[in-house]
Each structure stands twice: as C-alpha cells, then as structure tokens.
Amino acid sequence: MNILEQKIVTTRKDHHCFGCARKVFKGSKMQAITTVDGGDISRNYWCATCQEYWSRYMQDGDLIGYGELKSEDSERWEALRNELEIDFS
C-alpha cells in the first residue's frame, strides 16, 4: 500500500473516522489520506485524536483495520481523547 496524498481538509460532508469509526460531522478538520493498493485507490479520513494517537504510538507502515485504532486499545485511545477534546457535557 502506498500513500498518494495526505492533507488536512475541512470536510464538506459527514465522514466516519477510519481510526475510531466515530462519525465526524461536516465542517470538521480531518486528515484525508489517499492510498493506492494494487489498482485500488481509496481515501480515508482521520479525526484529530486518531492522528495524534498514530503519531505517538504507531509506526509508518503499520496497518490497521477500520475502527481498530480505538477498538484495539480503547483505554489508551480514550485517555488521549480526554486530553485533546474538550468535553462540555
């Protein structure tokens, strides 16, 4: 799998984050990663928490399935989310 493009975008529609499978509403800043695998091009979106999780704990070349960044290590992921996201509830 090769990364073709990686950029921060302001989403124009709702997306699910690839790392944690949460729904992120349009108008959010997400990282859009376009990859090619064989002949298949796909684009995935990542929320800020998952971007930070990846840069802290994962290595380039690591592969995960959809939602696994959170589901594989939910305790550490939740701790990071609490650190990064302000919760007014």
Residues in contact with Zn ion by the rule CB under 5 A: 17, 19-20, 47, 50
Give the shortest CB-45-to-Zn ion separation in angstroms: 9
d(CA 25, CA 28): 6
Nearer to Zn ion, 47 or 80 (CB): 47
Nearer to Zn ion, 50 or 80 (CB): 50
Give the shortest CB-38-to-Zn ion separation in angstroms: 26
Nearer to Zn ion, 39 or 63 (CB): 63
Contact assessment for residue 52 and residue 65, using Cβ atoms and an 8 Å cutoff: no
Give the shortest CB-39-to-Zn ion separation in angstroms: 27
Nearer to Zn ion, 39 or 85 (CB): 85
Closest by CA to 67, choosing from 25, 15, 18, is 18
Residues facing residue 46 across a β-bridge: 31
d(CA 31, CA 49): 11
Give the shortest CB-89-to-Zn ion separation in angstroms: 19
Phi (first) and psi of residue 31, to 5 degrees: -90, 125
